[in-house]
Structure 1
Amino acid sequence: MIKIKIAVQKSGRLNQDSLNLLKDCGISIDNGKDQLKASASNFPLEVLYLRNGDIPQYLRDGVVDIAIIGENVLIEKGGDIGIIEQLGFSKCRVSLAVPKEVNYKNIKDLEGARIATSYPNTVKEYFKKFNVTPDIHIINGSVEIAPNIGLADAICDIVSSGSTLFKNNLKEVELMLKSEAVLAVSPSISSDNQKILDKLQFRIQAVLKARKSKYILMNAPNDKVETIIKLLPGMRSPTVLPLAEAGWSSIHTVIEKNSFWEVIDELKANGAEGLLVIPIEKMVL
């Protein structure tokens, strides 16, 4: 039986979110503790648990067909590998940071500076845009300590909350790029596996769309229905159903989660009552 092979981070921040996505796509993974490879019981898919930094090479060599990986890793190690879906989780940024006491003005201040990082290619490309040449020190591991022990003048690393920088007396001075988990595909994927990927991507898109949306129901007097419909930024057309009480209707629609509270205030101000908000499990368009 033909199976598509997907690489997932063995451990770390991407691991559980990746497995949760596959689970939400209705895919059951028969994996035990410490397994490096596992198969799905209800979909032609095999999961390989790999080190994050090794995944781009596995994609390039065709050992795996697809991967869930941080966009920042692909930019650093897999610029030739295609991204077919932005997944919206494990968001972070790659930034430059210097000691808090440094009077940093602009990128020119780092000409010839020692930069500790595990992202040397990203640093080179970023500094090249400003015609600045740093002295790059490649460190695999915790780079935040480098300025404190005199190894570097600045660091380049991924930043989520910024708490690690704060604890190490560092401040963020340059946002180099933003990153999130992505679905990447091998340049040598076969036509048979591409068909399986199309089915998987369809499921992923349905899950992601649902995560970004809310289903809302509300009651409104009939003379307010037209006004309320104009306020709704959701799907093509809301559903309007008459209530048992004369002169009232029930309005059903889907709106994006990010605009929810702003829309709710306007709806209430224009006569909507009894608003009910329901999470969406899947959304197929």
Structure 2
Amino acid sequence: MTTEPRLRIAMQKSGRLSEDTQKLLKRCGLKLNVSDRRLLAHVSNMPIDIMRVRSSDIPGLVMDGVCDLGIVGDNTLEEAALERQLMEQSHSYVKTTGLNFGGCRLSIAMPEEFNYQGIKSLDGLRFATTYPQLLNRFARNNGINVEFCLLKGSVEVAPRVGLSDGICDLVSTGATLEANGLKEVEVIFKSTASLIQNPAVLEPSKQKILDTLLPRIQGVMKAKESKYIMLHAPKDKLAQVSALMPGKETPTVLPLAGREDLVAVHVVATETFFWETMEELKSLGCDSILVMPIEKMMG
């Protein structure tokens, strides 16, 4: 009896990306059987296994070929690639697609009383960080020298207790910095989540699974960024109405039963549809303007 090959995907076990990753996979139609006590989750309706691990382990699992794919933040991915390159370990991967969640930035922050006069102000200082390789690259690229102390948590308290002059850490809203008397002075890396793949050629059966999964992921991402717009427009103002529609898609124009003066206009918008645009459409005589989210897209 032969076992069917199963595509293996690494994802964060718990944390800010875990929930978004599970939502993504479920929206792609995967039926997950996830348990907090189990590190390996099986997809019941496709030959896919999900390995739930620490974020920092995901790049290595993909680069070493233990997992075929991984969903990880670009900050963690880039830090791991730089570290493995320094240690002359395998550090190759393919970024299959960017994902529109997990957004954050890696920033340098200093005590509020620090007189920041530009990047050169940071020369010779010591920073607490979880991302020494990204910090060192930033320093090299900007012609300054810095020291670091490696911390895996509570980075924000390091300047207050004398461990460092400043910090280099992930920032989302900045509220944690403010609460600890720090100010953001330089953004050194912007990050979102990405789907990455081991560069080795997949065996045909696994490639077939990926060829099914990848368009679904891309369709969910595209749908999340898009809106479906419907409205009734005066036939004689159709050119002006079409010019106001966001995005590059050509609107679909349909007749309305019993109306010679109005048509129905439908369009998928991949750009923001502002209230001001709706008001301009209204001033042209449009009505029944609906802007709706899209759950899935393909093609």
Measure how far apart 1:196 and its partner are: 2.0
Residues of 2 paired with 1:123 and 1:25: CA distance?
36
Structure 1 alignment gaps of length 5 or more:
none
> Shift of residue 263 of structure 1?
3.1
Aligned partner of 2:57 in structure 1 is 54
User: 1:141 deviation in Å?
Assistant: 1.2
The counterpart of 2:131, out of the listed 90, 107, 119, is 119
Q: Which residue of 2 aligns with 1:82?
A: 94
CA contact (8 A) 2:249 2:269 kept: no
Q: In structure 1, what is the equivalent of residue 35 of structure 2?
A: 32
Distance 1:128 1:210 in 2: 40
Bigger CA drift: 94-103 or 193-202? 193-202
Moved more, 98-107 or 245-254: 245-254
1:189 to 1:142, Cα distance in 2 relative to 1, 3 A: farther
Distance 1:74 1:210, change over 3 A: same
Distance across 1 between alignment mates of 2:106 and 2:282: 41
What are the residue-to-residue correspondences of 1:124-139 with 2, within 5 Å? Answer: 124-139=136-151
Deviation, structure 1 residue 118: 0.7
The answer for the alignment partner of 1:182 in structure 2 is: 194
SS at match of 2:210: helix
Q: In the alignment, what sits opposite 1:210?
A: 223
In the alignment, the residues of structure 2 paired with residue 261 and residue 44 of structure 1 have an alpha-carbon distance, to the nearest angstrom, of: 45
Q: Distance in 2 between matches of 1:220 and 1:34?
A: 56
1:172 corresponds in structure 2 to 184
Q: For residues 223-268 of structure 1, what are the alpha-carbon distances to aligned partners after superposition, in whole Å with 9 as ceiling and x for unaligned? A: 1122212222345422212222331111111112523434323322
Aligned partner letter, 1:241: L
**For residue 21 of structure 2, what is the amino acid of its counterpart?**
S
Letter in 2 for 1:57: G
Amino acid at match of 1:230: A
Instruction: Tell me the CA shift for residue 167 of structure 1.
Output: 0.6
Structure 1 window deviating more from structure 2 (27-36 vs 147-156): it is: 27-36
Equivalent-residue separation in structure 2 for 1:142 and 1:261 (angstroms)? 42
Which position in structure 2 is the counterpart of 1:256? 270
Change in CA separation of 1:269 and 1:191 when aligned onto 2, cut-off 3 Å: farther
Residue in 2 aligned with 1:227?
Answer: 240
Contact 1:241/1:250 (8 A) holds in 2: yes
Map Cα deviations across residues 74-129 of structure 1 (whole Å, 9 max, x no partner).
11002532211110101000000000001011121222211110100001000001
TM-score in terms of structure 1 length: 0.95
Query: Quick check: 1:276 aligned with 2:279?
Result: no
Contact conserved, 2:249 with 2:268, CA < 8 A, in 1?
Answer: no
Q: Which amino acid counterpart does residue 163 of structure 2 have in structure 1? A: L
Name the SS of the counterpart of 1:247 in structure 2. strand
Match of 1:238 among 251, 256, 275: 251
Alpha-carbon RMSD: 1.5
Q: Percent identity?
A: 44
**More divergent stretch after superposition (114-123 vs 248-257):** 248-257
For structure 1, which segment, 164-173 or 80-89, has the greater mean C-alpha deviation from structure 2 after superposition? 80-89
Segments of structure 2 that go 5 or more residues without pairing to the other structure are 83-91
